[in-house]
């Protein structure tokens, strides 16, 4: 799957996730979740939603904060699971 297609699938998920937690959900291509102030519980919930949404199971070595900090990092990590 190309990065643009993956972005189109990921953005609505992230926007909904952020809105549910009271964060600004208007994501541009340079978003950075670390700057929003998500808690560790928020990240766990995000991981679970991503796994469910894409029907994948993330490997332990991929469940690190650096893979969820911004658009590029998350897309790189997801491209490992999604063709």
pLDDT in tens, 42-79: 999 999 999 999 999 999 999 999 999 888 899 899 99
Domains of the chain: 3-79 (1.10.1200.10)
Alpha-carbon distance of 45 to 34, in angstroms, equals: 15
Q: Residue 33: exposed, middle, or buried by beta-carbon count in 10 A (0-12, 13-18, 19+)? A: buried
Check: CB of residue 31 under 8 Å from CB of residue 75: no
pTM for the whole thing? 0.85
Confidence of residue 33 (pLDDT cuts 50, 70, 90): confident
């Amino acid at each position: 799957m190309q990065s643009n297609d993956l972005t189109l699938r990921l953005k609505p998920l992230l926007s909904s996730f952020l809105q549910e937690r009271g964060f600004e959900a208007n994501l541009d291509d340079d978003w950075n979740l670390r700057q929003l102030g998500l808690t560790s519980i928020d990240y766990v919930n995000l991981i679970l939603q991503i796994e469910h949404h894409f029907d994948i199971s993330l490997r332990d070595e991929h469940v690190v904060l650096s893979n969820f900090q911004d658009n590029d990092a998350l897309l790189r990590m997801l491209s490992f699971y999604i063709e």
